[in-house]
């Protein structure tokens, strides 16, 4: 028998001796306490108890002792192995107890024999018990695992099949680790055009190929993923650990790369490798992320625009009814009547409400635009006096024009509204005064050009810049400035529609609007309009006077088919037309209108119809009706812009458009002018 085995046997004998002596001592004690029992029951009971104690407790104790002896023998076998290992090494028992350590571990960490490894794990991991459990799971699957013991370094953990002991040894030689644990040959790893990383279970980068170093930088080895990336929603190291331990299958996530330059996003795909390591495949998806953000923003603005347009359409119907019935009441009162002034106030405030609705329609790009060739220098020159009055005496307004500025095609009044909105915002950003510069110049793009989050097609553009020296706009606010009803002004000082209106007008014109701002230095709004080659035609800007409504026009003898789904609007329009001498047939929908026209005896001179209605819309039923009545005139009414229902459709010859909200004079004048016109050509 070897010396170590004899020592083990002696140790076992020392442990068994108390168990053999204990039953005899218990029996003797019982006989001494109860010596007078004549029937010997005490002896029987005592002997039975002693025998049961010996058989049960003794057998369990013996099994436990032999188990400990087996662990002790296995520990002796590993003790020689760790003595030859460079760097700290430990032998860990089944419960986590440190059974032995080599000289390097003793020198660096002190005497830890008898303590639990959890003590060292707690220096690096917030939940050492969970980490210990994860190590056990990994060892059960592959016999290999890894752990970081902080200042002691990264440790490679192994357990032989059938053994309960773990061998922890320091990963002191990275070159050796890479050779032992490589997933692909080193030559292939370095030369593959895909960005690859080898990671520890804690997310430390052991190696990176050339493509990965080009993506992340030349000095990424030795860093951790959590130091380079964020945006996962949890610790990146925990994610890597879950993949390493098999709690998660290989997965891909898009993370934000922490860099001093522009925002960059990298898709990282993880897959477990051998010996607890993880392979990471990286792909730069910054451009895709930018496109995604553009798409989300576009969808958001489109959704808000649809909401705003729908609200504006419904409000226009309400305002038409209010304004129309107000006009009907005003016909019954003289100007000297006190009630007339009250009605006039209602009418004026209705007009103000209509102006706000037009701003909503401008944002949703569903308003009426009268596009014409414009020279921006002339347009801005005509605005100079008004703009100077808007900014006040503390602010200096400066114009800088290109001497050969190109022409654009836009709605003059709406463009003036855009410039005024931008100038007013610039003024409000400089309460102590300053300079506002409005500059125009020609811009040419030979190729599609990315500005902000938009890509401008190649071509010629005219740029209008409005610069101020105000407080500037912070990045988080800058992303919201074009949203309707968003304002940083105090309650009552702004509607939140100024910039959203400008955005809608510019986009509906076919242009682009951007804002660059630095907090504390000011802002610059840049508008890009496609250059137009057409000639400028002089426009008569004198507004036409409203037609008189005081005298009925019963001599016209014309029949109107009025089709409107909103009952208040239909009631007002019917009364207004009847007051002017028209015979009116009413229909609440397109289907009712077509039913009326099935009677050949019914003569109709003009259709006055809403455009957007439940079921069949206005243009559709009018086209059907004109097949049998080609000489009938048409007036379309809508709270949306005219081009909304003419897009992708052939225009109906001879038809006109009346935008809501309209007055009694607007309606009767247009219907009368249509009736007096020559009959339109037949619709094909």
**Domain of residue 221, CATH code:** 3.30.450.20
Burial of 204 (0-12, 13-18, 19+ CB in 10 A): buried
Whether residue 158 is found in the same domain as residue 184: no
Q: Which of 532, 563, 578 is the last residue of a domain?
A: 532
Q: Is residue 79 part of a domain?
A: no
User: Could you tell me the CATH number of the domain that includes residue 495?
Assistant: 3.30.565.10
Q: Convert the pLDDT of each residue in 175-233 to its tens digit.
A: 444 444 444 445 556 667 788 998 888 888 988 888 888 888 888 888 888 888 888 77
Whether residue 269 is found in the same domain as residue 331: no
In DSSP notation, 463-499 reads EEEEEE-S----HHHHTTTTSTT---SPTTT--S-HH
Q: Is residue 420 part of a domain?
A: yes
Q: pLDDT band for position 299 (50/70/90)?
A: low
Instruction: Work out whether the CA dihedral 206, 211, 214, 216 comes out positive or negative.
Output: negative
Q: Convert the pLDDT of each residue in 106-156 to its tens digit.
A: 888 888 888 888 888 888 888 888 888 888 887 776 667 788 887 788 888
Residue 479 has pLDDT above 80, yes or no: no
CA distances 271 to 140, 223, 234, Å, are 19, 19, 18
Of 56-60, 89-93, 167-171, minimum mean pLDDT range: 56-60
In DSSP notation, 259-314 reads -SSS-EEEEEEEEE-GGG-EEEEEEE-HHHHHHHHHHHHHHHHHHHHHHHHHHHHH
Q: Is residue 508 part of a domain?
A: yes
Q: Is residue 613 part of a domain?
A: yes
User: Could you tell me the CATH number of the domain that includes residue 312?
Assistant: 1.10.287.130
Cα separation, 284 vs 355, whole angstroms: 48
Whether residue 524 is found in the same domain as residue 383: yes
pLDDT score at 262: 66
Say how many C-beta atoms besides its own lie within 10 A of residue 30's C-beta.
16
Mean pLDDT value of segment 92-109:
86
Cα separation, 620 vs 560, whole angstroms: 18
Q: What does the mean pLDDT of the chain come to?
A: 77
Q: Is residue 545 part of a domain?
A: no
Q: Convert the pLDDT of each residue in 21-44 to its tens digit.
A: 555 565 556 555 555 444 555 555
pTM for this entry: 0.45
With b meaning 16 or more CB within 10 Å and e meaning fewer, what string describes 450-482? eeeeeebeeeebbbbbbbbbbbbbeeeeeeebb
What region does 110 belong to: left with phi over 0, alpha with psi -120 to 50, or beta? left
Whether residue 243 is found in the same domain as residue 226: yes
| Residue with the two structure tokens 């410039």 | 419
| Residue with the two structure tokens 């009441």 | 329
Q: pLDDT band for position 7 (50/70/90)?
A: very low
pLDDT score at 14: 52
| Angle ∠(558,560,564) on CA atoms, nearest 5 | 165
Distance of CA 460 to the CA centre of its chain: 33
pLDDT score at 545: 41
Whether residue 106 is found in the same domain as residue 63: no
Whether residue 23 is found in the same domain as residue 152: no
Whether residue 386 is found in the same domain as residue 470: yes
Q: Convert the pLDDT of each residue in 335-364 to its tens digit.
A: 888 888 888 888 888 887 877 776 666 555
Whether residue 386 is found in the same domain as residue 521: yes
User: Could you tell me the CATH number of the domain that includes residue 602?
Assistant: 3.40.50.2300
Mean pLDDT value of segment 80-96:
82
Full 3-state SS string of 134-150: HHHHHHHHHCEEEEECH
Q: Is residue 400 part of a domain?
A: yes
What region does 52 belong to: left with phi over 0, alpha with psi -120 to 50, or beta? alpha
pLDDT score at 295: 66
| Angle ∠(500,372,378) on CA atoms, nearest 5 | 85
pLDDT score at 588: 93
Q: Is residue 437 part of a domain?
A: yes
The total number of structural domains in the chain stands at 6
Whether residue 275 is found in the same domain as residue 333: no
Answer whether 400's CB lies under 8 Å from 457's CB. no
Q: Find the domain containing 453 and state its range.
A: 372-532
Q: Which run of H or of E encompasses 166?
A: strand 166-170
Q: Is residue 156 part of a domain?
A: yes
Of 276-290, 452-466, 544-558, 601-615, minimum mean pLDDT range: 544-558
Strand stretches in 50-163, DSSP E: 89-92, 98-101, 144-148, 154-158
Q: Which of 269, 284, 299 is the last residue of a domain?
A: 284
Whether residue 581 is found in the same domain as residue 506: no
Cα separation, 304 vs 513, whole angstroms: 18
Cα separation, 375 vs 371, whole angstroms: 13
Name 505's Cβ contacts closer than 8 Å, sequence gap at least 6.
Answer: 362, 367, 369, 411, 414, 415, 417, 418
Q: Which of 225, 260, 284 is the last residue of a domain?
A: 284
Q: Convert the pLDDT of each residue in 44-83 to its tens digit.
A: 555 555 555 555 454 444 445 555 666 677 777 778 777 7
Structure tokens at 109: 């960490």
Say how many C-beta atoms besides its own lie within 10 A of residue 39's C-beta.
7
Whether residue 459 is found in the same domain as residue 376: yes
Of 611, 652, 620, 650, give the one whose Cα is nearest residue 633: 652
Structure tokens at 363: 């944002």
Instruction: Work out whether the CA dihedral 18, 24, 26, 28 comes out positive or negative.
Output: negative
Q: Convert the pLDDT of each residue in 496-554 to its tens digit.
A: 677 877 888 888 888 999 999 988 889 999 999 999 886 655 554 444 444 444 444 44
Q: Convert the pLDDT of each residue in 420-443 to its tens digit.
A: 889 988 998 888 889 999 999 999
Distance of CA 106 to the CA centre of its chain: 54
Whether residue 659 is found in the same domain as residue 513: no
Alpha helical stretches, state H, 331-375: 338-363
Let me know how many helices (H) and strands (E) the chain has, helices first: 22, 25
């Amino acid at each position: 028998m070897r010396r170590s085995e004899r020592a083990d046997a002696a140790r076992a004998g020392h442990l068994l001796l108390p168990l053999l002596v204990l039953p005899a001592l218990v029996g003797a004690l019982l006989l001494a306490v109860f010596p007078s029992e004549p029937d010997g029951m005490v002896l029987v009971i005592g002997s039975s108890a002693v025998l049961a104690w010996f058989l049960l407790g003794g057998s369990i104790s013996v099994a436990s002792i032999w188990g400990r002896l087996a662990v002790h023998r296995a520990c002796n076998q590993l003790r020689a192995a760790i003595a030859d290992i460079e760097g700290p090494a430990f032998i860990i028992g089944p419960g986590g107890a440190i059974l032995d350590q080599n000289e390097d571990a003793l020198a660096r960490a002190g005497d830890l024999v008898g303590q639990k490894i959890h003590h060292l794990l707690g220096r690096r991991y917030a939940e050492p018990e969970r980490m210990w459990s994860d190590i056990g799971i990994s060892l059960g699957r592959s016999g290999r695992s890894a752990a970081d013991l902080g200042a002691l370094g990264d440790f490679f953990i192994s357990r032989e099949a059938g053994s309960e002991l773990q061998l922890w040894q320091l990963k002191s030689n990275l070159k050796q680790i890479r050779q032992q644990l490589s997933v692909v040959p080193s030559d292939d790893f370095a030369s593959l055009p895909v960005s690859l990383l080898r990671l520890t279970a804690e997310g430390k980068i052991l190696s990176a190929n050339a493509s990965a170093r080009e993506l992340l930088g030349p000095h990424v080895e030795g860093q951790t993923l959590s130091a380079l990336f964020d945006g996962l929603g949890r610790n990146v190291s925990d994610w890597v650990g879950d993949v390493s331990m098999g709690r998660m299958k290989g997965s891909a996530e898009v993370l934000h790369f922490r860099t001093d330059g522009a925002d960059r996003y990298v898709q990282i795909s993880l897959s477990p490798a051998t010996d607890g390591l993880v392979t990471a495949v990286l792909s730069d998806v910054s451009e895709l992320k930018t496109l995604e953000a553009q798409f989300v923003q576009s969808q958001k603005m489109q959704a808000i625009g649809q909401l705003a347009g729908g609200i504006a359409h419904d409000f226009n119907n309400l305002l038409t009814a209010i304004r129309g019935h107000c006009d009907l009441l005003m016909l019954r009162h003289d100007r000297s009547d006190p009630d007339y002034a009250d009605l006039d106030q209602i009418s004026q405030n209705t007009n103000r409400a209509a102006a706000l609705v037009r701003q909503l329609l401008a944002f949703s790009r569903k308003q009426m635009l009268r596009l014409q060739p414009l020279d921006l220098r002339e347009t801005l020159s005509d605005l100079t006096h008004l703009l100077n009055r808007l900014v006040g005496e503390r602010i200096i307004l400066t114009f800088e024009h290109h001497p050969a500025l190109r022409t654009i095609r836009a709605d003059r009044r709406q463009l003036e509204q855009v410039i005024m909105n931008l100038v007013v915002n610039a003024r409000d950003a400089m309460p102590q005064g300053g300079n506002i510069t409005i500059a125009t110049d020609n811009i040419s793009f030979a190729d599609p050009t990315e500005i902000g989050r938009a890509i401008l097609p190649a071509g010629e553009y005219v740029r209008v810049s409005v610069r101020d020296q105000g407080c500037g706009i912070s990045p988080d606010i800058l992303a919201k400035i074009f949203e309707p009803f968003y304002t940083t002004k105090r309650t009552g000082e702004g509607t939140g529609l100024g910039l959203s209106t400008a955005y809608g007008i510019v986009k509906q014109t076919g242009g682009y609007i951007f804002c660059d701002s630095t907090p504390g230095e000011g802002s610059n709004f840049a508008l890009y309009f496609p250059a137009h080659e057409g000639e400028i035609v002089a426009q008569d800007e004198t507004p036409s006077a409203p037609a008189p409504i005081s005298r009925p026009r019963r001599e016209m003898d014309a029949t109107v088919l009025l089709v409107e789904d909103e009952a208040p609007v239909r009631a007002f329009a019917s009364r207004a037309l009847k007051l002017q001498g028209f015979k009116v047939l009413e229909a609440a929908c397109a289907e009712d209108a077509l039913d009326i026209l099935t009677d050949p005896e019914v003569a109709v001179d003009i259709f006055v119809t809403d455009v957007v209605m439940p079921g069949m819309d206005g243009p559709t039923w009018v086209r059907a009706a004109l097949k049998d009545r080609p000489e009938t005139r048409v007036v379309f009414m809508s709270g949306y812009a005219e081009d909304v229902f003419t897009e992708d459709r052939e225009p109906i010859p001879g038809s006109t458009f009346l935008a809501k909200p309209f007055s009694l004079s607007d309606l009767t004048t247009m219907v009368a002018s249509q009736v007096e016109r020559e009959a339109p050509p037949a619709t094909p």
